[in-house]
Structure 1
Amino acid sequence: MGLHEHERFAYLDDFTSWWLHDTRIERRSCNQRSRPMPCCVASSGRCPPEDIGGLDRYMNALEVHGEHEFLERIETLREGQIDVNVLHVEADEWLIWLDRGFDRRAADERLQVLAR
């Protein structure tokens, strides 16, 4: 790509939802055997799940699946106002939304596949 240190570039990830990523080259260095290149050194913000349908739907999903709402669902379960089987169906989705951190190792693994 011919990018230089501290240079930034943007790319469009999803042509239907218009997810625009802002990326900066921190440093270019020779490949050190201790760490395969390219690699991700940091990230900020959460990554929306695939096919969420754009910013409005992502923001709504964050609100619907927030920690406060999760605690309310648990309280409803504790009070016996919801069937355990109903909550069981929701559990996988809640786990996805409650753990939306950035996985740098997974990003590095994807970068290594793309670099081949």
Structure 2
Amino acid sequence: DARKTRLSNIVQETGAKTIHYLYDFGDSWDHVIKLEKWFDNTTTEGLPFLLEAAGRCPPEDVGGAPGYAEYLDAIGDPTHPEHEHMRLWGPERFDPNVVDRKALEAAVNALSDAWKPRRRATRTR
């Protein structure tokens, strides 16, 4: 079950330094996760945390890489035939170079909180 698989386990068990991850089978977003450095950090207990971010995620269901390229062309060119439609369809004032670090940190922190080991209640006899 992929939902229960930790990237750290994949790296340790296979020795892989690069992992390919396919997100959204319909749009075929292929992500490459490259392990650049492994370090122990006891403050996070092996949970995810955000180190760095670059660029903004494309809107959902934009049509994969080709659809995203077309979307960027359309919103960036007022004379493009799909300009108005794409501008209204996507997020307001979409800039692919702007990173919303607070939103990303909140999402990663929510994952960390959800995945944090919980103490199990012990039964008394």
Shift of 1:97: 1.9
From the superposition, tell whether residues 102 and 55 of structure 1 become closer, same or farther in structure 2 (CA, over 3 Å).
Answer: same
In the aligned structure 1, how far is the partner of 2:103 from the partner of 2:38? Answer: 20
TM-score of the pair, normalised by structure 2: 0.55
Q: Per-residue deviation at 1:100?
A: 4.9
Larger relative contact order (C-alpha < 8 A, sep ≥ 6)? 1
Pick the structure with more helix per residue.
1
Identity %: 24
- 2:26 aligned partner: 16
Match of 1:28 in 2: 39
Give the C-alpha shift of residue 108 in structure 1.
Answer: 2.7
Structure 2 unaligned blocks of 5 or more: 1-5, 116-125
How many residue pairs get aligned? The number is: 95
Pick aligned residue for 1:62 from 72, 82, 106? 72
Indicate conservation of the 8 Å contact 2:56/2:96, yes or no: no
Matches within 5 A, 1:1-116: 1=6, 2=9, 3=11, 7-25=17-35, 26-32=37-43, 37-66=47-76, 69=77, 93=90, 95-98=92-95, 100-115=97-112, 116=115
Secondary structure of 1:95's partner? coil
Structure 1 residues without counterparts, runs of 5 or longer: 73-86
